[in-house]
């Protein structure tokens, strides 16, 4: 995200562009891991409510989509069709995602980071929802994501009390996986990205899906879900390579199917 003068405040156009970018990455075999970060001193400070038009220019290739929010149904449709799809697209992406939280992550920026699979925060970053400060709700799924990560009691405290936490507090709560010095943030994110990219992609992507499914399924349903996915992974060349490498005490060479070998 590259609107540092606006603290990477999100517009409907940015959200649609990000949905398109994630969709392109999902369908591109050359992409294995996504890393999302911001420029300047913010990851994203939430929705851009300045009313200013974004910089740029040129002629629009498609008609502008109405933003909604002019009445109750407009708000309902605007959230479901324009705002929430960014987080659902991130969660639906089979490829692993990393949020490198370089600065403040508030409201929309916070929920987007929580929608990623891994989060690394720069020391000094601050994050939270704080929508109640404006008598508004975390309407892009923040309540759901926090309940999954924190449980009901801690999510209640976090949201109702408008908590904005430091990177270190977020680490203690389990909202981020790692805290890095600001100058090392992207390097640390890329170390993780390379680790994930070198892993067995089919098994990792199916495991990601079944982990998220397990949070919402019964035990019996989760067993059936992972059995169906195991029927794929057990017969994949990566599994054959993993067993061969273990038996021969060699490092495995996964993903030949992606590398044309």
User: The domain containing residue 217 runs over which residues?
Assistant: 200-247
Question: How does 102-130 read in b/e, with b if 16+ C-beta sit within 10 Å?
Answer: bbbbbbbbbbbbbbbbbbbbbeebbbbbb
User: How crowded is residue 190: how many other Cβ atoms within 10 Å of its Cβ?
Assistant: 15
User: In this structure, what CATH number is given to the domain that contains residue 183?
Assistant: 3.90.226.10
Closest CA to 109 of 118, 120, 117, 99: 99
Instruction: Classify burial at 238, counting beta carbons within 10 Å of its beta carbon; exposed 0-12, middle 13-18, buried 19 or more.
Output: buried
- In eight-state DSSP terms, residue 101 is E
My answer on whether 127 and 215 are in the same domain is no
My answer on whether 155 and 204 are in the same domain is no
My answer on whether 169 and 232 are in the same domain is no
Virtual torsion, Cα 164, 166, 169, 171, nearest 10 deg: 110
My answer on whether 163 and 221 are in the same domain is no
User: In this structure, what CATH number is given to the domain that contains residue 211?
Assistant: 1.10.12
Let me know if residue 259 belongs to a domain. Answer: no
- CA separation for the pair 200, 197 (Å, rounded): 8
My answer on whether 159 and 218 are in the same domain is no
My answer on whether 209 and 127 are in the same domain is no
My answer on whether 175 and 207 are in the same domain is no
Let me know if residue 96 belongs to a domain. Answer: yes
164-166 and 126-128 strand pairing = antiparallel
My answer on whether 121 and 179 are in the same domain is yes
My answer on whether 223 and 179 are in the same domain is no
Q: How many domains does the chain have?
A: 2
Each of the 261 residues of the chain gets a pLDDT tens digit; together they read 999 999 999 988 889 999 999 999 999 999 999 999 999 999 999 988 765 665 555 676 677 788 788 899 999 998 999 899 999 999 999 999 999 999 999 999 999 999 999 999 999 999 999 899 889 999 899 999 999 999 999 999 999 999 999 999 999 999 999 999 999 999 999 999 999 999 999 999 999 999 999 999 999 999 999 999 999 999 999 999 999 999 999 999 999 988 875
My answer on whether 214 and 193 are in the same domain is no
User: How crowded is residue 47: how many other Cβ atoms within 10 Å of its Cβ?
Assistant: 19
Which alpha helices (H) appear in 93-200, and where do they start and end? 108-115, 142-150, 152-160, 167-173, 185-198
Virtual torsion, Cα 164, 167, 169, 170, nearest 10 deg: 80
My answer on whether 150 and 239 are in the same domain is no
Q: Give the domain-ending residue among 158, 174, 197.
A: 197
Let me know if residue 56 belongs to a domain. Answer: no
My answer on whether 77 and 177 are in the same domain is yes
């Amino acid at each position: 995200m590259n609107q540092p003068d606006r603290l990477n405040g999100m517009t409907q156009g940015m959200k649609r562009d990000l949905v398109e970018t994630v969709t392109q990455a999902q369908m591109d075999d050359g992409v294995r891991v996504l890393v999302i970060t911001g420029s300047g001193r913010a990851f994203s400070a939430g929705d851009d409510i300045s009313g200013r038009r974004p910089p740029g220019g040129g002629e629009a290739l498609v008609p502008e989509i109405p933003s909604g929010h002019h009445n109750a149904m407009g708000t309902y449709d605007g959230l479901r069709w324009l705002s929430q799809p960014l987080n659902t697209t991130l969660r639906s992406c089979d490829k692993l995602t990393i949020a490198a939280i370089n600065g403040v992550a508030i409201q929309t920026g916070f929920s987007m980071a929580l929608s990623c699979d891994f989060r690394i925060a720069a020391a000094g970053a601050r994050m939270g929802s704080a929508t109640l400060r404006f008598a508004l709700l975390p309407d892009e799924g923040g309540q759901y994501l926090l309940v999954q990560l924190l449980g009901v009691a801690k999510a209640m405290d976090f949201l109702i009390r408008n908590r904005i936490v430091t990177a270190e507090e977020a680490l203690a709560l389990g909202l981020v996986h790692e805290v890095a010095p600001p100058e090392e943030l992207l390097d640390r994110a890329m170390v993780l990205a390379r680790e994930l990219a070198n892993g067995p992609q089919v098994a990792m992507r199916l495991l990601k899906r079944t982990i998220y499914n397990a949070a919402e399924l019964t035990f019996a349903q989760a067993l059936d879900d992972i059995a169906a996915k195991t029927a794929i992974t057990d017969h994949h060349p990566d599994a054959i390579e993993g067993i061969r490498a273990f038996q021969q005490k060699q490092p495995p060479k996964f993903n030949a199917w992606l590398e044309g070998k």
